[in-house]
Structure 1
Amino acid sequence: MTPGRNIAIKVPLHRYDETVAYYRDRVGLPVTREMQNSTGFAFGNLTLWIDRVPQQSQVDIWLELFSDDPDAALASLGSPQRDELEPLDGVTGHWTSDPAGTVLLVRQPKSDER
């Protein structure tokens, strides 16, 4: 396994705008992509996503790991499969979590991500 290219901060609805403004205006990270419920920032070689999650009551950090064999990686981690968290449209992988509850996306990198 290797680190992926994405970090997501899942933010409650009432904190989204001020969190985006903080990273954009105070930290000075350049915005690379804006979507309805997400803003992506350049974060070195990574993308830091601030995601608006209406049902969220606290902030969560979600990380991405790459593996050529996500099923074997999940078995090696001994972590639960949590694919109910978000749809994995067009992605070969699984959602899981570490013992502290940090959500991890273990997925196969696309050819342009290697």
Structure 2
Amino acid sequence: MEPGKNIAIKVPMHRWEETVAFYRDKVGLTVTRELDNSTGFNFGGLTLWIDRVPHQSQTDVWIELFDDDPDAALSHLGSPCRDELEPLTNVTGHWTSDPAGTVILLRREQMG
């Protein structure tokens, strides 16, 4: 396993605009992508996503790990499969979490 290229901060709707402004205006991160409910920032070699999440009452940090065999890696970690969290479109992998509840996207890196 190795670190992925994305970190997401899942933010309640009422905190999203001020959180995006904080990272853009105060921290000074460069915006790399803007979607309706997500803003991506250059974060060193990673992309930091600030995601607006309806019905979210607290902020969560989600991380990404790469592995050539996500099924075996999930088994090795002994972590729960949490694929109900978000659809995985065109991704080979699983949502899981660590013992503290941090959500992890455990997936095969797409080449090209």
Matched to 1:67, the amino acid is D
1:111 deviates by 1.0
1:90 deviates by 0.3
1:15 alignment counterpart: 15
Following TM superposition, the consecutive aligned residue runs of length 4 or more in structure 1 with deviations greater than 4 angstroms are: none
Aligned positions, number: 112
CA offset digits 1:56-108 (Å, max 9, x no partner):
10000000000000000000000000000000000000000000000000000
TM-score, length basis structure 2: 0.99
Unaligned 5+ runs, structure 2 = none
2:89 alignment counterpart: 89
Question: Matched residues in 1 for 2:15 and 2:76: separation?
Answer: 36
Taking the TM superposition and a 5 Å limit, the aligned residue runs for 1:1-114 are 1-112=1-112
Q: Secondary structure at the match of 1:22?
A: helix
Question: Matched residues in 1 for 2:56 and 2:64: separation?
Answer: 20
Matched to 2:91, the amino acid is V
Question: Matched residues in 2 for 1:73 and 1:35: separation?
Answer: 31
Question: Matched residues in 2 for 1:53 and 1:76: separation?
Answer: 30
Q: How many percent of aligned residue pairs carry the same amino acid?
A: 74
Q: Secondary structure at the match of 1:111?
A: coil
Q: Secondary structure at the match of 1:90?
A: coil
What is the alpha-carbon root mean square deviation over aligned residues? Answer: 0.4
Question: Matched residues in 2 for 1:52 and 1:35: separation?
Answer: 10
Question: Matched residues in 2 for 1:50 and 1:97: separation?
Answer: 19
Unaligned 5+ runs, structure 1 = none
